[in-house]
A and B are shown apart, each in its own frame.
Chain A
Amino acid sequence: MRVLPETIGTIYDIGYRSYDGPRLGRRGAIAAIVAAGLRAVFGLGRSGRSKILPWGAIVLAVMPAVVAVAIRVLVGDLIDLYSYENYLWSIGALLPIFVASQAPELVVNDMRHRVLPLYFSRPIGRVDYVGAKLVALTLALLGLTLLPVLILFTGRILAAEDLVAAVGDEMGALPGIVGSGVLHAGVLAALGLAVCSLAGRRAYAAGAVLAVFLIGGVVSGTFQAQGRGLEWIAPFLNPLSILDGARQWLFGGTVAESPVTSADLPLATYGLAAAIMLGVSLAILALRYRRVTT
């Protein structure tokens, strides 16, 4: 005879339980910070307002590629809105806006509200923390620097009459596409996080990032337009043109509007400048996070 539960009284133990399950150590910690970083950048788990800018930027970055593919499908390759090389330059304005708006989310709060001691009292090091944040922002930026170009790439292949031949034709460009995307995303992420780590509040951080890009961009444009032998300065004032030059050095392919073209300097200098930008950013991050006390 089965005894019904209602006829016996039971009090269940809901006291404190200890944990004997798996502990994932450093790897788990880093993965958690990357995942949380991505969520923060794209406003997941937050109000709708915080999703507008990041997702809007992705849409704006991707839209031209989609349009270009549609045109190709409809009209064939008579009109080519974009090449792989100049796509990034064309959507260039979106990058600083994205970084200025979202990089602070990753970095400023933890520092301003002194959350860092809670991280560092756990089994991760400073390098792990900063590295994870960098990975998160880089992955997010790939949505702007790589995704649209991949769409363009895939679209060209799929729109061609002879798929197999098209794959053969376009495949050569793939390393350049990926390399360029990663280069831009990585360096901009480092730069953005470095600037933000110096700022006290999210608003100041956003302003600082914008300043670094826009002022550089405007002044650079001025130099470029002036001519009279000053064009060589122009590319070095704008992080985006430095990156364009480095891209050109590594993967080839010029962009007409970029100051790199008018400056006409050996491309390796841009590679060097990009490496310096990256190095300085990482150094700033290292110094900033060294001083954290528990």
Chain B
Amino acid sequence: MPLISTRALTKRYSGGVIALDGLSLELEADVIGLVGANGAGKSTLIRILLGLLEPTDGDASVLDLDTATQGAAIRELVGYMPEHDCLPPDVSATEFVAHMARVSGLPSGAARERTADVLRHVGLYEERYRPIGGYSTGMKQRVKLAQALVHDPRVLFLDEPTNGLDPAGRDEMLALIERIGREFGIAVIVASHLLGEIERVATWLVAIDAGRLLRTAPLASFTERTGQLLIETDEPADGLAARLIARGIDARADGRIVVADLASGDASEFGIYDAVRDEAVALGLALVRLEHRRHQLEDLFRARGTDARVA
């Protein structure tokens, strides 16, 4: 049973804005990255999937429940972490999350216990008894995540979960998301405009552009090797490139970087790597980097024709 499926999903707002245009998707349980949708498309999609908005055309289902007719049943099984600030300042995290648990239908005792557990999992300790108004952005994001998790949903919708977090906080939030997907057995959909983050946590990718589906595929397929080897040194690398070319390897230099075609030169398994090593030694070069060039998510969004920058 697919986790989420949509068929020709379309939403037109009065005023002519087309937020979604014939979107057809089938998603299995995973950590799914949702990128590229502009503001209108992303929030429209989430609202439709939560059963809060009717599409103009087409249909959608979550966990085999139709969004148009079974919205309340979907919302029992789903957790949502909005992008914007959404926490009242004068209650404590414990009180708020427990209340939200009860509104999700948990009996009082279970609500309290799960709240305590979930706050621990998201990393809130003594601060949970203080009013939310005094929390840092990082702590507030954790509370938002906790209220989405507390009722043990089957699917989590996280909208820009690292919004406003500093690098350390972002790291922690991403690690938490990875953990949720991997250990907790909950399917996660992360909407983010930061491609680097998506590359880090997601296993599947959905890319939407102007309301239409651009691609949906495993993340690995987007960051495949390009069949090129990238060599970076500490000084201009023309000399290295020349010597590699002399060995029959297809190479070109760009400042301190050399890009070599793995299919060229010596056909033996490590031939080209050894060639690079030996020439570096011969020239007394410092080797800073040696790796396969990979595609990046960014390439997906580049206007037609521009080639990817050297990474």
Interface 1/0s, chain B 38-52, versus A by CB < 8 A?
Answer: 000001001100101
Q: Using A25-B76, A294-B52 as known contacts, say yes or no to A33 and B107 having CB atoms under 8 A apart.
A: no
Confirm or deny: B151 has a beta carbon within 8 angstroms of a beta carbon on chain A. yes
Q: Is the CB of B110 within 8 A of A19?
A: yes
* Shortest distance from the beta carbon of A46 to any chain B beta carbon, whole Å: 7
> In the complex, what distance in Å separates the CA atom of A47 from the CA atom of B152?
32
> In the complex, what distance in Å separates the CA atom of A109 from the CA atom of B152?
26
Interface 1/0s, chain A 276-294, versus B by CB < 8 A?
Answer: 0000000000000000011
Interface residues of A (CB under 8 A from B): 15-19, 21-26, 28-29, 31-33, 35-36, 45-46, 109-110, 113-115, 117-125, 293-294
Q: Is the CB of B110 within 8 A of A21?
A: yes
Give the residues in chain B near A17, CB-CB below 8 Å.
114, 117
Residues of B within 8 A of A (CB-CB), count: 40
Q: Is the CB of A28 within 8 A of B106?
A: yes
Q: Is the CB of B90 within 8 A of A118?
A: no
> In the complex, what distance in Å separates the CA atom of A143 from the CA atom of B135?
36
Q: Is the CB of B104 within 8 A of A29?
A: yes
Give the residues in chain B near A122, CB-CB below 8 Å.
75-76, 100, 103-105
Task: Point out the residue from B50, B85, B102 that lies within 8 Å of A113, measured CB to CB.
Answer: B85
> In the complex, what distance in Å separates the CA atom of A86 from the CA atom of B87?
44
Task: Point out the residue from B43, B46, B47, B102 that lies within 8 Å of A32, measured CB to CB.
Answer: B102
Task: Point out the residue from A18, A24, A121, A294 that lies within 8 Å of B106, measured CB to CB.
Answer: A24
Confirm or deny: B213 has a beta carbon within 8 angstroms of a beta carbon on chain A. no
Give the 7 A-B residue pairs with the shortest CB-CB distance, closest first. A32-B102, A19-B152, A121-B80, A23-B105, A16-B184, A24-B105, A123-B72
Q: Is the CB of A114 within 8 A of B84?
A: yes
Task: Identify the closest chain A residue to B104 (Cβ).
Answer: A122
Confirm or deny: B147 has a beta carbon within 8 angstroms of a beta carbon on chain A. yes
Task: Point out the residue from A36, A45, A46, A121 that lies within 8 Å of B50, measured CB to CB.
Answer: A121
* Shortest distance from the beta carbon of A29 to any chain B beta carbon, whole Å: 5
Task: Identify the closest chain A residue to B82 (Cβ).
Answer: A117
Task: Identify the closest chain B residue to A125 (Cβ).
Answer: B72
Give the residues in chain B near A293, CB-CB below 8 Å.
43, 47
Give the residues in chain A near B117, CB-CB below 8 Å.
16-17
> In the complex, what distance in Å separates the CA atom of A125 from the CA atom of B103?
11
* Shortest distance from the beta carbon of A106 to any chain B beta carbon, whole Å: 12
Q: Is the CB of B102 within 8 A of A29?
A: yes
* Shortest distance from the beta carbon of B260 to any chain A beta carbon, whole Å: 46
Q: Is the CB of B104 within 8 A of A26?
A: no
Confirm or deny: B196 has a beta carbon within 8 angstroms of a beta carbon on chain A. no
Task: Point out the residue from A15, A21, A31, A32 that lies within 8 Å of B183, measured CB to CB.
Answer: A15
